[in-house]
Amino acid sequence: SPQDEDTSFHFDGSGYSLVEKALRSTVTQILLSFSTFSPNGLLLYLASNGTKDFLSLELVDGRVRVTVDLGSGPLALTTENRYNNGTWYKISFNRNKKQGR
């Protein structure tokens, strides 16, 4: 969701950050930058309190996979290209109700 503060985290592959933000029921906007040589790893996981709704961004064999479940079962999309070559990449995910990009 749009925020006033600019927050960034840097990890060496052995840590994580827990940030309490609500997964909104109708609108989600995520902008994430990453650089890694690791082929697998969790980039972002959002879950709603009290429901089974979630959104995850992860690397699987170097490919970015986004998985979303907003109550009607999970939908997973995976890129064809690999992104674990040490280059900085930016992921943008936008959702308005049932439309996502």
- Sequential DSSP letters for 62-77: TEEEEEEESSS--EEE
Q: Is residue 49 part of a domain?
A: yes
65 touches 78 (CB < 8 A): yes
Q: Could you give the CA distance from residue 92 to residue 40 in angstroms, rounded to a whole number? A: 19
pLDDT of residue 9: 65
Output the CA torsion sign for 79, 45, 100, 36: negative
Q: Is residue 47 part of a domain?
A: yes
Can you give the CATH number for the domain in which 85 is found? 2.60.120.200
**Which tokens sit at 78?**
């995976």
pLDDT of residue 4: 46
pLDDT of residue 87: 95
Supply the range of the domain harboring residue 92: 2-7+27-96
pLDDT (tens, 9 = 90+) of the chain, 101 residues, equals: 344 445 666 666 676 776 666 666 677 788 888 899 999 999 988 887 777 778 899 999 999 999 988 778 888 999 999 999 999 999 998 888 777 77
Phi-psi sector, 95: left (phi>0), alpha (psi -120 to 50), beta: beta
Total count of domains within the chain? 1
Q: Is residue 17 part of a domain?
A: no
Q: Is residue 19 part of a domain?
A: no
Q: Is residue 34 part of a domain?
A: yes
